[in-house]
Chain A
Amino acid sequence: MKGQPPLSPRRGRILEGLLANMAVVTAAARVLGSSRGLGQDGLLLLRRLGVRGLAISHPQRQQQRFSSLDDKPQFPGASAEFIDKLEFIQPNVISGIPIYRVMDRQGQIINPSEDPNLPQEKVLKFYKSMTLLNTMDRILYESQRQGRISFYMTNYGEEGTHVGSAAALDNTDLVFGQYREAGVLMYRDYPLELFMAQCYGNVSDLGKGRQMPVHYGCKERHFVTISSPLATQIPQAVGAAYAAKRANANRVVICYFGEGAASEGDAHAGFNFAATLECPIIFFCRNNGYAISTPTSEQYRGDGIAARGPGYGIMSIRVDGNDVFAVYNATKEARRRAVAENQPFLIEAMTYRIGHHSTSDDSSAYRSVDEVNYWDKQDHPISRLRHYLQSRGWWDDEQEKDWRKQSRKKVMEAFEQAERKPKPNFSLLFSDVYQEMPAQLRKQQESLARHLQTYGEHYPLDHFEK
């Protein structure tokens, strides 16, 4: 049934047992005469057959249902049996939820039946999206160090989570991100020019220069504009999924967040709402080991984020986030079922944040260079995919060299163009607060214009469009 969770094996067994017992009682009643109930003899017979507690013991109580059901819990709040042994459930963090992967660290398929067998063109698009993102990250990070943009956040090490998941979605599926999902936009062919425009806040920025760098948004590509407060997007994504369900849109909503943001109240709110309101949403958690300087051991004490899903009644899985095929497979299946069954799915993609949190962070203050190098050299989504490509004969060192040169050139061109463009006219400071500009705000806008007429020399007007 659509929207109904399948009967758990345990519940199914109980039901089976009940039905079997009922069948025996009915048969016994026929044998012994059903008009007055089974009486003591009937009871004994049934007990010998191993049917416990279902027999009607007194004729007067014939109207009552099977008496042992009286002893079953009736609480509306939980579907469970009684237990008479005092036992606390032990959280299992030593052997937590296993991590699904398709490729080993050398990019070799482990179980051929899990290989998605994607065509060469598609896998090459994966590779080029990840590497182009990586190249753009290096150049924009550097540009911040040189004072050309104010701020930047890199995606090093997490490219696989972005591209694998984005590739498994339809282009019209709505994306709510946190801030480290630029690869999703990259995969959806968001032009370099627009990435740069947002980072520079120049006239071409769709966001009109209002936010810090990396706060991308694109209506055309169904990527909701990023905001700085963490986890606020989670209940919003759930609402959007509910509306998509009502509209019979056959769309899924995907919501990205980090393992740190998952500690926020909004995350709890979002999970609970998605499950109770039966929303077609994929919760995608990038567990990259750190929330700025806070390691996961200080973020949570349970078995990560995947283990929380079942607590809400949400289908959950943990995957190797550095294995782009594993991410792809899990997201693909989650998408199919979320839309078909109108229920949420939780994917926890284990990965590692190779870069600093942002240009305002120096992570050598809280982790060793060796640790970072391990991930960079031994378990990187890009190199694993490259090994896969090479083993298929779809890529070689020559192409690698060419592509590096080409992608670097593309990025540099876009970068230089973006830098040359002016910022938007200062009047854009005032628009879009409301759909219509209120009278008071218009007065303020006019007041600034007058002010600049007298004091304009003290303002960077040359960098702004006239």
Chain B
Amino acid sequence: MAVAAAIACRLLRLRAAGAGGHWRRLRGAGLPRGFLQPASAGEDAAQWRRVAHFTFQPDPEPLEYGQTQKMNLFQAVTSALDNSLAKDPTAVIFGEDVAFGGVFRCTVGLRDKYGKDRVFNTPLCEQGIVGFGIGIAVTGATAIAEIQFADYIFPAFDQIVNEAAKYRYRSGDLFNCGSLTIRAPWGCVGHGAVYHSQSPEAFFAHCPGIKVVVPRSPFQAKGLLLSCIEDKNPCIFFEPKILYRAAVEQVPVEPYNIPLSQAEVIQEGSDVTLVAWGTQVHVIREVASMAQEKLGVSCEVIDLRTIIPWDVDTVCKEECFLNLEAPISRVCGYDTPFPHVFEPFYIPDKWKCYDALRKMINY
């Protein structure tokens, strides 16, 4: 069994390395010759599945928060959780598989550090996880609930929308669950298909009483997650899973906050405004460069960050409707469930965004 595991590990590493010539390495790994014939179309056929549709652009190292460390996105999440549990003795983390470190390694080391009463597994039941989290928060303790994939948040929809969001309002502020934060891996990942790729923030975008936040990078993730945890309202924090390992940058070791409900203008421009959140921010950054280079068009790039309550003022003024020179263009996935092999055609990649921009300029 150990041998098989070792081979499996080597296979995974090879796959992750993504380089060519891996068939040669497989033979070297001790598998019999001819066990796996190379794909008929050569390396290219396997390659297209591994190329991401974006390039992560790290932000410059933040200098105002003290010492920084190279972290990827899941490590930044771990750091935020570590800071929270250190500061707040009532804080607990729970959900499926969080005890051993989580399926995306976001909670690695925390149970050993803070104890099994503070970092613990729950039974496999999302409505229970969120309901339980609400109850902890009602007593004033800090509850950080993990939903294993955003695709599985729906059993908890009633608890989120009918209970968490309305707790303070319906009780006349006698009770609230403001110290609840729900975290979930979010968005397309290249191979996630129908049930491991969803971006369900729209379902919550019209639910007054909750806040929904999506970070674009490790630095943003830690600061925004800390703000969500400390915010006095129930928050949902969606973590772009494709960035968990792919996004690496310098992140402060100490806690810091990035404000909620504030969009960030990443790049100023004068001709077209591009708005996105999460992974897509990196797509539109690239589209902005393409637009500048090929069309001489100056783009303003905005990361919305908080979906609800959203920063209307940064994105547009109420009067802007009369100042628009072209209709607003939304570039999204198609009105289908998220497909598996068709993902490259489905996602709003830079070519589709660029094309929409080009049409807008020529309107």
Q: List A residues at the B interface (Cβ < 8 Å).
A: 174, 176, 205-211, 215, 217-219, 224-225, 227, 229, 232, 234-244, 246-247, 265-266, 268-270, 272-273, 276-277, 431-436, 438-441
* Across-interface contacts of B133 in A (CB, < 8 A): 239
The answer to whether B171 touches A242 (Cβ under 8 A) is no
Query: A207-B172, A433-B168 are known contacts. Are A272 and B233 too (CB-CB below 8 A)?
Result: no
* Across-interface contacts of A174 in B (CB, < 8 A): 139
Say if the beta carbon of B144 comes within 8 Å of chain A: no
* Across-interface contacts of B313 in A (CB, < 8 A): 439
* Across-interface contacts of A219 in B (CB, < 8 A): 174-175
Query: A217-B171, A433-B169, A435-B176 are known contacts. Are A235 and B127 too (CB-CB below 8 A)?
Result: yes
Cα A432 to Cα B313 in complex, Å, equals: 22
Cα A218 to Cα B173 in complex, Å, equals: 11
Mark interface residues in B117-145 (1 if CB within 8 Å of A CB, else 0). Answer: 11010110101101111111111110100
Select the stretch in B155-163, B272-280, B286-294, B325-333 that faces chain A.
Answer: B155-163
Say if the beta carbon of B90 comes within 8 Å of chain A: yes
* Across-interface contacts of B131 in A (CB, < 8 A): 232, 234-236, 238-239, 266, 269-270
Interchain nearest-CB distance for B302 vs A (Å): 17
Say if the beta carbon of B208 comes within 8 Å of chain A: yes
> Would you list the 7 A-B pairs with minimal beta carbon distance, nearest first?
A239-B135, A235-B131, A269-B128, A236-B135, A225-B171, A208-B172, A239-B132
The answer to whether A242 touches B208 (Cβ under 8 A) is no
> Which of these, A206, A243, A433, A440, contacts B312 with CB under 8 Å?
A440
Give the interface centre of A205, A215, A247 by most chain B CB atoms within 10 Å: A247
The answer to whether B309 touches A438 (Cβ under 8 A) is yes
| Beta-carbon nearest neighbor of B142 in chain A | A243
Say if the beta carbon of B178 comes within 8 Å of chain A: yes
> Which of these, A240, A265, A272, A432, contacts B138 with CB under 8 Å?
A240
The answer to whether A235 touches B135 (Cβ under 8 A) is yes
* Across-interface contacts of A276 in B (CB, < 8 A): 122-123
Interchain nearest-CB distance for B114 vs A (Å): 12
Cα A219 to Cα B139 in complex, Å, equals: 11
Interchain nearest-CB distance for A309 vs B (Å): 16
The answer to whether B163 touches A236 (Cβ under 8 A) is yes
| Beta-carbon nearest neighbor of A272 in chain B | B123
The answer to whether A273 touches B127 (Cβ under 8 A) is no
* Across-interface contacts of A239 in B (CB, < 8 A): 131-139, 143
Query: A232-B163, A272-B128, A440-B312 are known contacts. Are A237 and B135 too (CB-CB below 8 A)?
Result: yes
Cα A463 to Cα B28 in complex, Å, equals: 85
Mark interface residues in B160-202 (1 if CB within 8 Å of A CB, else 0). Answer: 0011001111111111101000000000000000000000000
Say if the beta carbon of B232 comes within 8 Å of chain A: yes
The answer to whether B132 touches A242 (Cβ under 8 A) is yes
* Across-interface contacts of A431 in B (CB, < 8 A): 173
A-B contact pairs, 30 of them (CB 8 A): A176-B135, A205-B172, A206-B172, A210-B169, A217-B172, A219-B174, A224-B171, A225-B167, A232-B163, A235-B127, A235-B128, A236-B138, A240-B135, A244-B139, A247-B141, A266-B127, A266-B158, A269-B127, A270-B131, A272-B125, A272-B128, A276-B123, A434-B209, A434-B232, A435-B178, A439-B309, A439-B312, A439-B313, A440-B309, A441-B309
* Across-interface contacts of B128 in A (CB, < 8 A): 235, 238, 266, 269-270, 272-273
| Beta-carbon nearest neighbor of B132 in chain A | A239
| Beta-carbon nearest neighbor of B92 in chain A | A246
Say if the beta carbon of B298 comes within 8 Å of chain A: no
Interchain nearest-CB distance for B54 vs A (Å): 31
* Across-interface contacts of A432 in B (CB, < 8 A): 168-169, 172-173
Query: A224-B175, A434-B233, A440-B312 are known contacts. Are A215 and B170 too (CB-CB below 8 A)?
Result: yes
Interchain nearest-CB distance for B104 vs A (Å): 23
Cα A336 to Cα B176 in complex, Å, equals: 28
* Across-interface contacts of B257 in A (CB, < 8 A): none
Interchain nearest-CB distance for B158 vs A (Å): 6
How many residue pairs at the A-B interface have CB separations less than 8 Å?
A: 159
The answer to whether A243 touches B139 (Cβ under 8 A) is yes
Say if the beta carbon of B57 comes within 8 Å of chain A: no
The answer to whether A435 touches B233 (Cβ under 8 A) is yes
Cα A232 to Cα B156 in complex, Å, equals: 10
The answer to whether A265 touches B135 (Cβ under 8 A) is no
Interchain nearest-CB distance for A201 vs B (Å): 10
Supply 19 further A-B pairs (C-beta < 8 A) apart from A235-B132, A432-B173, A433-B209: A210-B172, A227-B166, A227-B170, A232-B158, A239-B136, A239-B138, A239-B143, A242-B136, A243-B141, A246-B117, A266-B159, A269-B123, A273-B123, A434-B309, A435-B176, A436-B232, A438-B261, A439-B312, A439-B313
Cα A266 to Cα B168 in complex, Å, equals: 21
Interchain nearest-CB distance for A454 vs B (Å): 20
* Across-interface contacts of B90 in A (CB, < 8 A): 243, 246-247
* Across-interface contacts of B176 in A (CB, < 8 A): 435
The answer to whether A273 touches B132 (Cβ under 8 A) is yes
The answer to whether A243 touches B135 (Cβ under 8 A) is yes
* Across-interface contacts of B209 in A (CB, < 8 A): 433-434
Cα A77 to Cα B187 in complex, Å, equals: 34
Interchain nearest-CB distance for B304 vs A (Å): 14
Give the interface centre of B131, B135, B172, B173 by most chain A CB atoms within 10 Å: B135
The answer to whether B309 touches A225 (Cβ under 8 A) is no
Cα A456 to Cα B293 in complex, Å, equals: 57
Cα A266 to Cα B129 in complex, Å, equals: 10
Cα A174 to Cα B125 in complex, Å, equals: 24
| Beta-carbon nearest neighbor of A219 in chain B | B174
Cα A312 to Cα B34 in complex, Å, equals: 52
Give the interface centre of A237, A239, A243 by most chain B CB atoms within 10 Å: A239
> Which of these, A211, A232, A438, A439, contacts B159 with CB under 8 Å?
A232
Query: A265-B127, A276-B123 are known contacts. Are A207 and B178 too (CB-CB below 8 A)?
Result: no
> Which of these, A206, A232, A436, contacts B174 with CB under 8 Å?
A206
The answer to whether A224 touches B168 (Cβ under 8 A) is no
Mark interface residues in B309-321 (1 if CB within 8 Å of A CB, else 0). Answer: 1001100000000
Give the interface centre of B136, B162, B209 by most chain A CB atoms within 10 Å: B136
Cα A257 to Cα B357 in complex, Å, equals: 56
Cα A229 to Cα B117 in complex, Å, equals: 30
Cα A219 to Cα B211 in complex, Å, equals: 25
* Across-interface contacts of A277 in B (CB, < 8 A): 120, 122, 132
| Beta-carbon nearest neighbor of A229 in chain B | B162
The answer to whether A269 touches B125 (Cβ under 8 A) is yes
Cα A207 to Cα B169 in complex, Å, equals: 8
* Across-interface contacts of A215 in B (CB, < 8 A): 170
The answer to whether A232 touches B162 (Cβ under 8 A) is yes
The answer to whether B168 touches A434 (Cβ under 8 A) is yes
Interchain nearest-CB distance for A252 vs B (Å): 13
* Across-interface contacts of A433 in B (CB, < 8 A): 168-169, 208-209
* Across-interface contacts of B138 in A (CB, < 8 A): 224, 236, 239-240
